[in-house]
Structure 1
Amino acid sequence: MEKWLDEWLPIFGVEHDCILSKQGDVTIAYKVNLPEIFTLSTEDYDNLHHAWIRGLKTLPKHTVFHKQDWFLQKKYVPPLTGNTPSYLNKASAKHFAGRLFLDHSCYLFLTKKADGRKISTSLFSNIIRKSIVPELTLKEEFLTDFQDICGQFKQIIEATGLVRLNRLKGEELMSQRRSLGVVEQYCSLSEKADEFLMKDISTEGGLHIGDKQCMLFSLGDAIDLPHLCGSRLTYDKYSTDRTKFSIGFATPLGLLLPCNHLYNQFIFIDDGQQTINQMEKKRLRLQSLSAYSRENAIARDATNDFLNEAIGEQRLPVKAHFNVMLWSRDDKELKELKNLASASFAQMDAAAKEETVGAPQIYWAGIPGNSADFPMNDSFDTFAEQASCFLNAETNYRSAPPESGIRFCDRISGKPVYIDMFDEPRKIGWTSNMGLLCAGSSGGGKSMTVNHILRSLYDQGAHCLIVDIGGSYRALCELFNGYYFTYDEKSPISFNPFYLADGMTLDTEKKESLKSLLVALWKQENESFYRAEYVALSNALQGYYSKLAKNEDIFPCFNTFYEYLEGEYRDILITHRVKDKDFDVDNFLYVLRPYYKGNEFDFLLNATENLDLLNQQFTVYELDNLKDHNILFSVVTLILVESFVSKMRKLKGIRKVLIIDEAWKAITKSGMAEFLKYAFKTIRKYNGIPGVITQELDDLVSSEIIKDAIINNADIKILLSMKKFMNKFDKLQTTLGMSDKAKSILLSVNQDEREVFIDLGGQHCKVFKNELSPHEYFAFTTDGKERVKVLEYAERYGSMEAGIDELVKERA
């Protein structure tokens, strides 16, 4: 017989943001923000578990705690941004578009039963009889008192700092013209927020909602429960011989169950004293019958243990029920879902019952606001401590806005998520600086990860300067039309520190940097530099640039500066009566002559291209062939330091990034070491990000420069697989100031899955997958053979984009 849903729906309406049932029950609803999966320690699980227990004990008798977790399979849709997407962003969006993931949302319904309400059972449920509005009047004090108690409950749960409860308003509870409310969403099992099609509910031949056939698996009998339960489980996949990785006890029924499903958790708080009295009667009855049956004797002992625990340890007796509902439109898929559900319950050492006859009543009681009508014959007696173990404790990774985050992927489905490593953590108070340290073993993917981070920061408008050994950023630099400085015999490295970009003048900072360069070329470290020489060089630079301003035909470079010193400036020195002991211009010109045209290093300071270092957004200094050449190395380091400091001070409001990748020879030089100390302590004030990358464990532990200047000022740590260092990890843990929780999470990193560990100020740590699209992979690859092939294809097909496109086609 067909019936209209509005006549039989047990919900009367919504008033004062509360759901009112036709039996007079009042429900206050919350949207629950749970902690992210794979981020909690054993202590976190215990704290959250105890908070649920304390919260349950604040609720008055005849209250129903109903937590409802939705897990819906959805396809990933790349975010829309206002800017035109870059080449790699387009490739990334295409690669990840349509990827399936479980979208999780969690609701909590606290229901106060109406006074004098009869207990519902499978035979006495409002799904099989038309509800009649009771003859009662809800007093204002009743609602106010219940709201106050729910407010106390909320404060207790949120005090953990792990969970947030947001009260649902009336428009979120009941459907509006353009949005589904939680009641209709449940009744129709809608998988989309804009799915406004009304659906039939049928109980013939099983539970059907629209074209979906549903299966319901329940834990409603003590015999089906695991022998032991707790706040957490050990997750073997991410555990090691030295660490145990924890997940929530009920997580196998949550995000680890990879299909559309609902997890309903009911805890019924009735009159505790009345429950104990009933148990006492049951114990006496079983005592009388124990002589006739061993089963009765065992039941008597179990009841006695329950009573002893309730009274001796002041436990809160409750009734509980937990169920998982799955659905599909395909009969074959239903068999697979049944196997998945059974396996998930087995991970908890539980044996769920597949509901058939009782499924409609249990489903009906799951309607938000109707939990007071749950058939109590499908619940079991327990305590709040045990019942709380079965509450789902975790949700998906959260994502920052794409415009301020770096894209990684979650560990379960590979869904792209964005993490803001630099701004949001400082606002929250997790970090106090933006220093970055990236470490991992050789071949672990450090440079690939940093390539990806730099690409994201570049797209967000940052200026990036990289000091590299090994050519890890060549392809990315060409892709961005950046400046790539390297040295070989055919094309030696070349700069022009004398060039001023359009709109620039010879300010004090530029003059000081040029003087520092000239002095470094002229004097050895143990030679003195006098005040008169300082003034003479300052005047020389001022006169040279005054001459350039009058004669635009002169190209600014070291050659023309040298000629100015040989000619006009000699006359100026004579006019000012400058003696050789004050400034020996002949000695200066003789020492610097190798850098003048026609001499050994004439290429170094006379570049005619790649001139505008200040406004170039992406610059790489590749030092592999320079690290053992004292003269060239000194000049290059001075120029790159001056370049970054100039960006720092002059590019206001723009983010600046300095990355030192494996350049230990550079770091050990005194001048560079001092600059790094300065950078890690200072450039955050100029919206700057300093970063160092290393693969050697001993580099972190033994280098005083790294240990004192970098680690202590690097609140952002990106670490790759450390399993090969497991036996000597304690020393590294101490050096990095890492907690046991962070250690457990770090050692779960799987190098084969391209996973990375990110620690923000020691306050928040998480593991992500660094999955790349094929185009990104070829742009970032550091494999020697692949890197050469990428550069060959770029030259053959005319551009880096065209070369990468061809490589992707070949690999497809």
Structure 2
Amino acid sequence: MKYSVKELAKIFPLGAVEENCIFTKWGDLTLAFEIILPEIFTLNARIEEGVEMGDYRELVETWSKAIGVLPAGTILHKQDWFVEETYKPNTKELPESYLDRSAELHFNERPYLHHKCYVYLTFSQGERTRTHAGLTSLVKAHIVPKRALSKGEIDKFMVAVLQLKSILESNRLITCRRLGNDELQPDKNAPVDKAGLIERYMTLSLNDEVVPLADFDFTSEDELRIGNKYSKFFTISQVDDMPDSISTNVRIGALSTENSTLSVGYSTPIGLMLDCNHIYNQYVFIDDKTLITAELEKKAGNMVALSNFDRANKVNADLVNGFLTLAAEKSWTPVRIHANVQVWTDDKLRLPELRNKTTAAIAKMNLKPRENTRDAAFLFFAGIPGNAADLPREDTFTQFAPQAACLFNHETNYYTSESARNSIRVVDRLSGRPLWVDFSDEPMDRTWINNKNKFIIGPSGSGKSFLTNHFLRSYHTHGAHIVIVDVGDSYRGLCGMLGGKYITYTMEEPIHFNPFFLEGRAFPETEKMESLKNLLLTLWKSIEEKTSRAEYNALSSAVKGYFLKLQVDESIFPCFDTFYEFMQQDFNEYLKREGVRDDYFDYNNFMFNLKPYYKGGEFDFLLNSKKNLDLLHERFVVFELDNVKDHPILYPIVAIIVMDTFISKMRKLKGIKKIILIEEAWKAIMTPNMAGYIKYLYKTVRKFDGEAWIVTQEVDDIIGSSIVKDSIINNADTKILMDQRKYENKFNAVKELLGLTNKEKDLILSMNRDNDPNRMYKEFFVSWGGQRYRVYGLEVSRPEYYAFTTKESEKLRVLKKVASNGGNFDIALKEVVAEDLDLKSV
């Protein structure tokens, strides 16, 4: 059969699109919905006492309940589109930044599958749902309905549709949106020429642009031709095609281990994992229960009568009777089901490849692959939205709703964040498609988290510093102020590129601060007072020494008294030296006047321990600086402490002062995101004296649109530290983990410490196990308060790679280029990338 566009119009089964409904020429009524499904790899599956449990089972039960409310004569047609597309950067609006432009061009034409899911609910005349191939609209062009559906029947159907929508959305994994007239078939007189869903199906295109209808050729036994596209159908239409038992999900061996299992939905192998243009159609016909039961009983009786001729008839009769018994016991209504996969390509030579891919995917589900050539034209017409009643009856088989729901596709692609305020570019795990994900504001707005603090853990070489470089640059681009405490020189390149301030300790120019200097000689706020008291305690006492309440109160009085004196005497320059002199004179007199005994506050011990920081002392440079007084308006500040990381005195003091710098930003910068990132420095500052202060910082920072990030390398470091657990982990709702395969056999301890679920553990242990060898990327895991969790890929362009690399040789290579061209990082990165390309071409 060949049909021109004019000839096709004569036999086209749809009559009108009105009142947000599709009407066929037979009088069938269809409501259409777009279904938003859960993202792939985010649903859990578990076995409890030999029974499948988890999200997949819940979805199957939800669909089963939804099907159960539909009246006889209803057809549920679920249609999943998977269309090959390529990422196209907006060349007219490319970012000004060289790195951002290079990233957009890096992903140019990156292929991926665009997925859309629709459900069509058709209410048809009783005899229409029992159509045979010879009675479909494709061969019977002049259609006159025997009777119209009554208003009472339609009202009953509409109520059932509302119930179905409510049931589907009740589990919070599915969202339904009803499609209107303009989305189904736009008005031809509308000012904007946009393709509707019906046009898209008839042209096998998901594009918004209107594609003119082309001729159809159904004469070939090997394929259908729809315009310039060649198509094939593969069906699941016979009970013999099904396995003995059907599951709600399948295990992905490449992403699973002995200690973890990663699953996808039972039909996902013919969904997102089938990388070609295809539509997966799933049909459920709800017939009159009395009629279908009578048919089955008659069939069983006929088989018994013929059992003397063939023992197989007796076996089949027993199976049918068992089916009817199960229906009675479970109160399940038998339904007729059908599923098919339609693949297509505009290159006819690819058809054998598509056949092999599709049959292999169906076989992964333990189903029998069956290519359908005889009914392909009928299957295509039945797939038209609203025309499910045209599916030939002989292509369906009887089952229960739960088995039908197991065949449904339950998953879709990762979504891009709706928020654009602080989104970061990552890539989809399956295809490498660029995604924009908001790791802070959207999770907070959706109440997945209660704070924006982040805890990042990853072994050496896992890409931890590379990831944080990428994140921090993105946040800086969005206007954030960032303070970093580093011990590995991981952020020098990024700091230089962003024009930040890089402060490091050398013998020639040691780090020096002035924590007592406040802009405008302001009186310190609560956080500043706490910071100064903790600094003085660190200068005074060792880690092992405890602080009494009297000592703490005495220090509070000392700090308060000093700043009150600064308000009165403007000739005093705020610094540690003048504070020490205040303690020598004013505060000493105060202690004598108040009669404070030495066992309450050991004044002499305090002054002796603080003397090395006073002028003439060993560390007199540290707290009396007249430089770096105001880092408030520096948007990117790095304190590199590698040279003092092992110094028992300088390291914890410097770390405290750095955090004091951040607190100043936190309090004074209104309406601006602030981030403090502490790399391995947390080990030195996690003393009993500092634990309360860190906990206070973590709890307070969220009130000022701030984020505290802790980055650590070794799992063992966090397992044995109760201070880390109480002060950091419990107050960081966003947990990011890099590759943890080296801890696979002892990961349960980490799981308990971080409060991870079994599903989160399975996702973490699946990272980087089946990466695409043609792409350079690493995967990472993120959990937002245990409410939402994902594995994303981090893939960057070549210039971004050199901007973020932490390898010593590569960093030096870039810095030499920067030095030779006068400090321009963009030119340096271009030159390094050009050299790489020249080497590859040799």
Give the TM-score of the pair, scaled to structure 2: 0.87
Are 2:464 and 1:446 aligned?
yes
**1:553 paired residue number:** none
Counterpart of 1:692?
Answer: 710
- State the alpha-carbon separation in 2 of the partners of residues 353 and 514 from structure 1: 72
Q: Which residue of 1 aligns with 2:678?
A: 660
CA distance in 1, matches of 2:699, 2:533: 22
Partner residue of 2:351?
A: 334
Aligned residue type for 1:790: V
Range moving further from structure 2, 316-325 or 604-613: 604-613
Q: 2:100 aligns with which of 86, 89, 96?
A: 89
The residue that corresponds to 1:429 in the other structure is 447
Q: State the shift of 1:804 in Å.
A: 2.3
**Does 2:258 match 1:241?**
yes
SS in 2 for 1:403: coil
**1:406 shift after superposition:** 2.2
Deviates more, 1:334-343 or 1:31-40: 334-343
Measure, in 2, the Cα distance between the counterparts of 1:239 and 1:524: 50
Q: CA deviation at 1:41?
A: 0.4
1:724-752 superposed Cα distances (whole Å, 9 cap, x missing partner): 22222222222111111222222211276
Q: Separation in 1 of the partners of 2:226 and 2:719?
A: 61
Once the two structures are overlaid, the 10-residue window that deviates more, 65-74 or 274-283, is 274-283
Task: Supply the distance in 2 between the matched residues of 1:531 and 1:261 (Cα, whole angstroms).
Answer: 71
Contact residue 406 and residue 453 of structure 1 kept, 8 A: yes
Instruction: Tell me the SS of whatever aligns to 2:130.
Output: coil
Residue 618 of structure 1: which of 620, 633, 636 is its match? 636
Partner residue, 1:290:
307
Q: CA deviation at 1:619?
A: 1.2
Q: Does 1:802 align with 2:827?
A: yes
**Cα distance in 1 between the residues matched to 2:757 and 2:561:** 56
* 1:141 maps onto 2:152 in alignment: yes
Distance change (3 Å), C-alpha of 1:497 and 1:803:
farther
Alpha-carbon offset, residue 409 of structure 1: 1.1
- The structure-2 alpha-carbon separation of the partners of 1:467 and 1:83, relative to structure 1 and needing over 3 Å to count, comes to farther
Aligned to 2:10: 7
Contact 2:486 2:638 in 1 (8 A): yes
Pick the aligned partner of 1:788 from 796, 812, 830. Answer: 812
- 1:383 is aligned, of 369, 389, 400, to 400
Whole-angstrom distance in 2 between the partners of 1:31 and 1:371: 17
Quick one: distance in 1 between partners of 2:329 and 2:609? Answer: 96
Deviations 1:347-366 (A, max 9, x none): 11222222223111110011
2:599 paired residue number: none
Counterpart residue number, 2:737: 719
Partner of 2:32: 29
Taking the aligned partners of 1:16 and 1:89, their CA distance within structure 2 comes to: 46
Instruction: Measure how far apart 1:471 and its partner are.
Output: 1.1
1: CA distance, partners of 2:92 / 2:701:
29
Distance 1:609 1:387, change over 3 A: same
260-269 or 176-185, which moves further after superposition?
176-185
1:221 aligned to 238, 245, 255, which one? Answer: 238
Q: What is the identity, as a one-letter code, of the residue corresponding to 1:95?
A: H
| 1:199 aligned to which of 178, 202, 214 | 214
Give 3-state SS (helix, strand or coil) of 1:759's partner. Answer: strand
Structure 1 residues 141, 313: CA separation in 2 closer, same or farther (over 3 Å shift)? closer
Q: 1:36, CA displacement in angstroms? A: 0.4
SS at match of 1:657: strand
Within 5 Å, give how 1:498-577 maps onto structure 2: 504=520, 506-509=522-525, 534=559, 537-538=562-563, 541-542=566-567, 546-547=570-571
- Determine which of 50, 57, 61 is the counterpart of 1:50: 61
Contact 2:534 2:693 in 1 (8 A): no
Name 1:69's counterpart in structure 2. 80
Mapped contact 1:627–1:665 kept (Cα < 8 A): no
Cα distance, 1:600 vs structure 2? 5.7
Residue 645 (str. 1) matches residue 656 (str. 2): no
Asked if residue 168 in structure 1 is aligned to residue 193 in structure 2, the reply is: no
Aligned position for 2:194: 179
Relative to the length of structure 1, the TM-score reads 0.90
CA distance in 2, matches of 1:519, 1:704: 24
- After superposition, where does 1:472-491 map in structure 2 within 5 Å? 472-491=490-509
Structure 1 residue 698: Cα displacement:
2.2
What is the rounded CA distance, in whole Å, between the counterparts of 1:532 and 1:50 in structure 2?
66
Return closer, same or farther for 1:761/1:605 CA change in 2, 3 Å cut-off. Answer: same
Alpha-carbon distance change, 671 to 651 in structure 1, aligned in 2, over 3 angstroms: farther
| 8 A contact 2:741–2:765 mirrored in 1 | yes
CA shift in 2, pair 1:775/1:726, >3 Å:
same
Deviates more, 1:373-382 or 1:492-501: 492-501
Question: How many Å apart are 1:299 and its aligned residue?
Answer: 2.9
For 2:718, give the aligned amino acid: L
Q: Which amino acid aligns with 1:14?
A: V
Mapped to 2, the partners of 1:582 and 1:694 lie a distance apart of 49
Percent identity over the alignment is 38
Q: Aligned in 2, Cα 1:81/1:244: closer, same or farther, shift over 3 Å?
A: farther
Query: 1:496 offset after TM fit, Å?
Result: 5.2
The change in CA–CA distance for 1:159 and 1:283 in structure 2 (over 3 A counts) is same
Aligned partner of residue 216 in structure 1, secondary structure:
strand
Deviation at 1:513, TM superposition (A): 8.4
Structure 2 residue aligned with 1:552: none
Q: Return closer, same or farther for 1:671/1:122 CA change in 2, 3 Å cut-off.
A: same
Q: Do the aligned partners of residues 118 and 404 (structure 1) sit closer, same or farther apart at CA in structure 2, a change above 3 Å counting? A: closer
Task: Check 1:22–1:194 CA distance in 2 against 1; reply closer, same or farther (3 A cut).
Answer: same
Deviates most, 518-527 or 679-688: 518-527
Counterparts of 1:593 and 1:677, CA distance in 2: 29
| Partner amino acid, structure 1, of 2:427 | C
Relative to 1, partners in 2 of residues 1:530 and 1:242: Cα closer, same or farther, differing over 3 Å? closer
The code of the aligned residue for 1:39 comes to T
Alpha carbons of 1:478 and 1:304: their partners in 2 closer, same or farther (altered >3 Å)? same
Shift of 1:773: 1.9
Cα 1:727–1:118, aligned 2, differ >3 Å: closer, same or farther?
Answer: closer
Preserved CA contact (<8 Å) 1:641 1:675 = no
Give the AA of the match of 1:34.
L
CA contact (8 A) 1:485 1:494 kept: no
Matched to 1:7, the amino acid is K
In structure 2, how many angstroms separate the alpha carbons of the residues matched to 1:563 and 1:656? Answer: 31
Question: 1: distance between equivalents of 2:408 and 2:416?
Answer: 24
Contact 1:595–1:604 (8 Å) recurs in 2: no
Amino acid at match of 2:484: I
Q: Measure, in 1, the Cα distance between the counterparts of 2:540 and 2:571.
A: 27
- 1:446 CA drift (Å): 1.6
Q: Is the 8 A contact 1:23 1:131 kept in 2?
A: no
Q: Equivalents in 1 of 2:380, 2:748: separation in Å?
A: 52
Matches for 1:386-401 after TM superposition, within 5 Å:
386-400=403-417, 401=419
AA of the residue aligned to 1:365: A
CA distance in 2, matches of 1:264, 1:594: 77
Structure 1 residues 514 and 725: alpha-carbon distance in aligned structure 2, compared to 1, 3 A threshold: closer
- Bigger mean CA deviation after superposition, 275-284 or 526-535: 526-535
Contact (CA 8 Å) 1:86, 1:459: kept in 2 or not? no
> 1:588: how far off?
8.3
Question: Partners of 1:39 and 1:122 in 2: how far apart?
Answer: 41
CA distance in 2, matches of 1:799, 1:21: 66
After superposition, the C-alpha distances for 1:414-463 in whole angstroms (9 at most, x for unaligned) are 11122222222223222112221111222212222222221221111111
Label 1:410 to 1:55 Cα distance change in 2 as closer, same or farther (>3 A): same
Instruction: After TM superposition, give the deviation of residue 591 of structure 1 in Å.
Output: 7.0
Which is further off, 164-173 or 599-608?
Answer: 599-608
